[in-house]
Amino acid sequence: MTTTIDNPVMRPVTTVPVPTTTYLTPDGQLVSSVPVGASYSDDTPLDWGEPLVSGAVVLDEQLAPRASWSGVVRAGQVLTIVDVGGNQSGDCLLYNAQHTDERYSAQDTLAWQNSAYIRTGTVLRSNLGRALMTVVDNEIDRQDTIGGACSRESNTLRYGHHVMYHHGCRENFLTEGAKHGLGMRDIVSNINWFMNVPIEEDGALGIVDGMSAPGKRVALRAEIDTLVLISNCPQMNNPCNDFNPTPLRMIVSEPDTDLEYEADV
Q: Which residues bind other proteins (CB under 8 A)?
A: 8-10, 12-13, 100-101, 103, 105-108, 110-112, 114-117, 127-130, 142, 146-149, 151-154, 156-158, 160-161, 170, 183-190, 197, 199, 201-207
Give the residue with the Cβ less far from other proteins, 24 or 184.
Answer: 184
Rounded distance between C-alpha atoms, residue 218 and residue 139, angstroms = 6
CA distance 195 to 233: 10
Work out the end-to-end distance of the chain between its first and last CA atoms, rounded to an integer number of angstroms. Answer: 72
Closer Cβ to other proteins, 66 or 170, answer by number: 170
Contacts of 102 (CB under 8 A, 6+ apart): 95, 96, 126, 127, 128, 130
What is the nearest approach in angstroms of other proteins to the Cβ of residue 162?
11
Least distance from other proteins to the Cβ atom of residue 48, Å = 30
CB of 148 to other proteins, least distance (A): 2
- Tell me the C-alpha distance between 16 and 58, whole Å: 54
Residue 115 near residue 211, CB atoms below 8 Å: no
Q: Which is nearer to other proteins, 9 or 24 (CB)?
A: 9
Which residue number, 48 or 117, has a Cβ lying nearer to other proteins?
Answer: 117
Min dist. Cβ of residue 50 to other proteins (A):
29
Q: Measured between alpha carbons, how far is 153 from 151 in angstroms, rounded to an integer?
A: 5
Contact 37, 165 (CB under 8 A): no
Q: Which is nearer to other proteins, 98 or 115 (CB)?
A: 115
Q: How far is the CB of 137 from other proteins (least distance, A)?
A: 19
